[in-house]
Amino acid sequence: METHQIKIHTEFIKLQDLLKFSGAVETGGDAKLIIQEGRITVNGEPCTMRGKKLRPGDRAAIDNETELVVT
């Protein structure tokens, strides 16, 4: 699994914004689609909430292939 560290300078980042900020998707529409399809896990649990707040230490995985670690 490919892992990317994503540094944020705020208290949290929303899941859809993390996907866009990291470059995993190009648009918010793409983020919405893959989240609704159930292709995202947050800390090992399936997540279909676009507005899920991720804080430093949280991990989001796309299709169990790419992992985004919030730092």
How many angstroms separate the CA atoms of 7 and 55, rounded?
10
Over residues 29-55, the pLDDT tens digits come to 999 999 999 999 999 999 999 999 999
Angle of CA points 39, 12, 21, to nearest 5°: 55
* Token code pair at residue 22: 């990291």
Q: 1 pLDDT band (50/70/90 cuts)?
A: confident
Q: What is the mean pLDDT of the chain?
A: 96
Q: Are 68 and 15 in contact (CB under 8 A)?
A: no
Q: 13 pLDDT band (50/70/90 cuts)?
A: very high
Calculate what percentage of the chain has a pLDDT beyond 70. Answer: 100
- Cα→Cα distances 3→22, 51, 65, 69, Å: 11, 22, 9, 7
